Structure formats: C-alpha cells, structure tokens
Amino acid sequence: MDISPLQKARYGYKPRLPACLAGDIGDIAVELGVPTESISDREDLKALFKHTYGKPLVSFVKEKNEAIYRELKVGVILSGGQAPGGHNVIAGLYDGLKKGNPASKLFGFLGGPSGLVENKTLEITDTIIDAYRNTGGFDMIGSGRTKIETPEQFAFSLTTIQKLGLNAVVIIGGDDSNTNAALLAEYLKEKGSDAQIIGCPKTIDGDLKNEYIEISFGFDTACKTYSELIGNIERDAASAKKYWHFIKLMGRAASHIALECALETQPNICLVSEEVEAKELSLDQVVDHICASVVRRAENHENFGVVLIPEGLVEFIPEIKKLIEELNNVIARDTGEFASISSFIDRLGWLRMKLSENSYSLLKSLPPDIAKEFLMDRDPHGNVQVSRIETEKLLISMTEKKLRELKNGGLYRGKFSPLGHFIGYEGRCAFPSNFDADYCYSLGFSAFVLIASGLSGYLSSVRNLTAPAPEWKAGGVPLTMMMNMEQRYGAKKPVIKKALVDLDGKPFKAFDAQRDIWAVKTSFLFPGAVQYFGPPEVADEPSKTLKLEHM
C-alpha cells in the first residue's frame, strides 16, 4: 500500500507516557481515593445505579501489581463522530494488554456500538495496529451512533460479551456514549456478570470535561486544523481587502471550538452561544453586533473581515430556540400529516395554526432557503438537525438587509461583499497533533491498567496536561460522578452533563479583554499548519484554552 512521507514518518513516532505508566509494567498499581457523589440528583442516581454509584477516584502509583499480568480478552468500540487520535487510544490499550500478557487479545467491534449488539468483530493484531499508529480517522474498525438503550440491546450486548469470553469492553466516545457506558456497566453488574466497562473521553467539541477530565481528545488537533484554515482566510481577506468571511465552525452545542479558534486567530468577531443565551440576545441584536464592526471598519476603509459562528448558535437565541422546540413538538405529534405535505408554501400554511404567533412570524420572516432547513427531516430523536441549518447564510442575509437600511439613512458608506463557509469535517480525521497522539495513547494505556486492576464504570483520566507528558497524572474517574438527571423526550434520564463555555472562566475572559479591539482593528494571527517536528514550544504545545485554564 502506498503511503505519504508524513504518514510514514508518523508511524515512527513514539507516544510519550506519564511517568506513572512508564517503566516496568508490573510496577503500576491503583490507589483508591474517597467515595464520590454525582453532580446533582444524588438520590435518583443512587437508585438507578445501585451497583456502580459512588465509586472512589483512582490514581496510579508505582507499586507491585501482580494482577497486571493477567491474560485478558477485551473489546473496544469507537462511538459517535470521528476525532483525531482514536487509533492511538486503541494502540495504547493494545500495547498495555500485550505488555501485561502476550496472550491477551483485543477485539474491535465493527461499526460502533452496533458491533457489540450484533457481535461483529475484528481481532486486532500487530499488523493491523501498526498500520494505524498516530494516524487520524476511525477507519480501523469504524464508528457508529447506535445507542444501547433498549432491553433487547442490553441483552444482546451481554450475550456477545459471554460468547467472546470478554473480561472488559472499552467505549471510546463523548458524553452520550459514556452515559451508555455507565448504563451498560450497571446492567452487567445487575445480571451478575464480571465483565468490566471502561470509557475514554472523545469529542472534538470539547464539552466532555471537568476537574478530572481536563479536555476530551481530538479537540486540540481539530482546533489547530481549523485555525490554520481560518488564518489562511484571514490572510486572504487582508490581501484582497474586499470580502467579509462568515465561518461556521463545528462544535454542536458548546462554543469551545469557536472560542479556541478565536484565541488562535483573533478574528473581528466571534459569537459565543453561551453568552448570547446568558444575555438573552435576539437575532436582531446579534446582527446589530456584526453590523457595528462592519460600519466601524468601513470608516477606516477596511471593507473586509472575519466572523466566527459556533454550529449550535441558533439553539441559544431565545426566539429561535422557542421556534425549534415548537416545530419539534408539532412535527413529532403529527409526523404522518406533516410528511404528506410536499411543498414549502403548503407546509407554512399548515403550520400557521400549529405554532404560536411569534414563532410563526419568525419562521415566515426567515429567508425561504433557511426556513426550509428548519423543516427538514428530523434526527432519530425527532429534533431539528442544527448542523444542517446554514447559520452563516442566515446572518449574511440579515446583515445585508440591516446595512442597506443604514446606508439609506446615511449611517454607512462602505461596501459589503460576504462569503460563507462551513468548516468542520476538515478537522475530524486529521493526523493527531503530538499532544493528541500522546494524550490518546496514555488514555488507552490507562484503560488497560483500570481493566487489569478489576475496575468497572470508570472513565480513563489523564491530567496535568499543560506539563510535559512524563509529568502527566493518570487514573480513572467514576462515570456516575459526572452525571445528573435531564429531561429527555418527555422523561428524566441520567446523562453526563455537558460542559459549556464558562463565561467566568479564564479563556472567555481573555477573549473578552481583546475582542473590542479586534472588532475594529485588523489583528489577525496566522497559526499555520499543525507541526509535528521541531522545538517543543512549536510541536508539543497544548491548546490556548487548556493553558489559560491552568494559569
């Protein structure tokens, strides 16, 4: 198979481990802390997780541990969207298993959680793992978004585990996937199975984090990849001096990606969904904010700029959030009737009596192409697919309209030539940065130690991430510790709480301190491509968000 020079070079990269995981494999033991509690809803969660609630925090220490040499059979699942470094998690897990006992085996479940339910596996060998070390993507075993949630799915999962004789399953995923991991760990205990479940924190969105999970893997690489592209666009804007670029960035609900990219590139405007919601800004007020920058820059004869837009913004604008909620409820209630109406105009007429007056007026006021996107096919849970709403085009259209009004009133004399972009898939499968390559390998190796030590219901944890890799601290966090109860589809469900941008946190405050300057004065930064070779301050740097959070 032909490979690129970079891929060949990355095969030779040796990920660095925390000191507590390096050296003799038999000298890694677990140290148990005090019992833990969930974020909230403690009594409800205790009742739901009778066998797995309240486990202690775990850290690894240098002590003899004979259990590390056990022969093990382990399964691994890649769950949800791709994130750079997933293959290195599997490599760290595989290497740990083989160092502990060469007879140990690792099975990859094909296509995500459905592979566990349907018993579709691939035994991972030296040849297979060596072809994927330090590479992007999830193509070694594939991923999927199946949720193990029905009694039948749980029963099939247990049957698969029993047929394969597995000691453990590692689930590599985000908050929803690891909520599933917690439920599966509880189910297995309830059924008397000794099989263990361990999770690994994956999502480029950056919203699976807390005191013990400092960042989810993939965030670092994805943001560096996006920032390179944004920097290139900024350089082009500063060169051509005639375009305003509206760039929507992947990230689903939280604005961590948009904020990190803003810190990396210093655009003229970066919208932060959490701030929009906290200040209860209307769509018109968001547009006014953009127009203020356009007008001020035009006064300086700079009719160009860059606007960053988080993917989930529309769900945080109060009147649009209300519209989406009403549409989801109406379409879910009358699915067949709605589906039978083919034309957009007829659907609008049908919704006239179904929506509140304010929501209907808002829907009708949107550009038709955008309004149609609010009525597209729902996701499997009956919700609008926010990622398919072209928020960048909506804001461009409304900004153009507002600027025409300002020009007619003599308040704006510039030229406005907008271009829209959506940057997302470009970063999900990039070659992992050195940081993510090391971090992911350490997460996988930590998952092995948790399994060898007989633990279940934990998320692999590696901390102190702004220090050099040997100084990182590894261990495990009980999955139930990160949970609360939330309303989902008409009922209270246990879920791992998403971490949104903290408006009182250091990353947002660093952004807030500079953004008024960026809005008027061209202050672009050009971070360039992800660097894999060179001095540590270039090749091994963690994200700005992580560094600011540790200041």
My answer on whether 485 and 525 are in the same domain is: no
What token pair was written down for 518? Answer: 């960026």
Tell which of 475, 496, 517 closes a domain. 496
pLDDT at position 491: 78
Nearest to 136, CA basis, from 214, 64, 81: 81
Q: In this structure, is residue 11 part of a structural domain? A: no
188 — pLDDT class (breaks 50, 70, 90): very high
In angstroms, rounded to a whole number, what is the distance separating the alpha carbons of residues 20 and 234?
Answer: 43
The tens digit of pLDDT for each residue in 143-166 reads 999 999 999 999 999 999 999 999
Handedness of CA 135, 139, 142, 144 (dihedral sign): positive
258 and 156 both lie in a single domain: no
CA 174 vs CA 208, 274, 309, 479: distances in Å:
6, 20, 22, 12
Confidence of residue 377 (pLDDT cuts 50, 70, 90): confident
Q: pLDDT tens digit string along 53-79? A: 999 999 999 999 999 999 999 999 999
Examine the domain organization and report whether 165 and 130 are in the same domain.
Answer: yes
Sheet of strand 196-201, all strands in order from the earlier edge strand to the far edge: 28-35, 56-62, 473-478, 458-463, 196-201, 168-173, 73-78, 105-109, 121-124
User: Residue 207 corresponds to which tokens in the numbers above?
Assistant: 């919203």
Structure tokens at 435: 């940081």
pLDDT, average across residues 415-434: 97
> Which pLDDT band, with edges at 50, 70 and 90, does 346 fall under?
very high
| Domain identity same for 275 and 348 | yes
Strands (DSSP E) contained in 212-261 are: 244-249
Average pLDDT value for the chain: 95
pLDDT over 70 (residue 380)? no
Bridge partners for 62 per DSSP: 28
Owning domain of residue 49: 28-218+432-496
Residue 129 counted as domain residue:
yes
Three-state secondary structure string covering 533-551: CCCHHHHCCCCHHHHHHCC
- pLDDT, average across residues 346-364: 94
* Residue 211 to residue 214: CA distance in whole angstroms: 6
- Residues of the chain with pLDDT > 70, as a percent, come to 99
Domain for residue 7, yes or no? no
On whether both 120 and 197 belong to a single domain, the answer is: yes
Q: Give yes or no for residue 486 having a pLDDT over 80.
A: yes
Q: Is 296 exposed, middle or buried (0-12, 13-18, 19+ CB in 10 A)?
A: middle
Annotation says 205 is catalytic: yes
Q: In terms of domains, do 148 and 228 share one?
A: no
Domain contains 127: yes
> How far is CA 171 from each of CA 143, 267, 327, 406, rounded to the nearest angstrom?
11, 37, 34, 54
Between the two ends of the chain, the Cα-to-Cα distance in Å is 46
Contact 358, 320 (CB under 8 A): no
Single-letter amino acid, residue 333: R
Do 378 and 413 belong to one domain? yes
Q: Which residues of 507-518 are buried (b: 16+ CB within 10 A; e: fewer)?
A: bbebbeeebeeb
Q: Would you state the pLDDT for residue 66?
A: 94
My answer on whether 206 and 102 are in the same domain is: yes
| Domain end point (choices 469, 496, 523) | 496
The total number of structural domains in the chain stands at: 2
pLDDT range class, residue 393, cuts 50, 70, 90: very high
Residue 168 has pLDDT above 90, yes or no: yes
Least confident residue range of 38-47, 86-95, 381-390, 534-543: 381-390
Identify whether residues 178 and 294 lie together within a single domain.
no
Specify the pLDDT at position 384. 77
Over 80: is that where the pLDDT of 488 sits? no
141 and 251 both lie in a single domain: no
Q: What is the mean pLDDT of residues 437-466?
A: 98
The CATH code of the domain that includes 80 is 3.40.50.450
Q: Within a domain: residue 8?
A: no
Instruction: Tell me: do 209 and 230 sit in the same domain.
Output: no
Angstrom distance (rounded) from CA 393 to CA 370: 8
CATH number at residue 326: 3.40.50.460
Q: What is the pLDDT of residues 86-99, one digit of tens each?
A: 999 999 999 999 99
- Which residue type, as a one-letter code, is found at position 127? T
Helix/strand number for the chain, H first, E second: 22, 15
Inform me whether the pLDDT recorded for 381 exceeds 70. Answer: no
pLDDT value, residue 383: 73
Closest CA to 29 of 474, 362, 513, 500: 474
**What pLDDT does residue 132 have?**
96
d(CA 454, CA 106): 17
Q: Given CA atoms 79, 100, 12, 470 in this order, what sign does their dihedral have?
A: positive
Element (H, E) at 237: helix 219-240
Question: What's the pLDDT score for residue 387?
Answer: 81
Q: Would you place residue 489 in the very low, low, confident or very high pLDDT band (cuts 50, 70, 90)?
A: low
Q: Is 420 in contact with 433 (CB distance < 8 Å)?
A: no
What is the pLDDT, as a whole number, of residue 490? 63
pTM over 0.85: yes
Q: Which of 205, 207, 436, 438 is catalytic?
A: 205
Chain segment 297-341, per-residue pLDDT in tens: 999 999 999 999 999 999 999 999 999 999 988 988 888 898 899
Same domain, 399 and 452: no
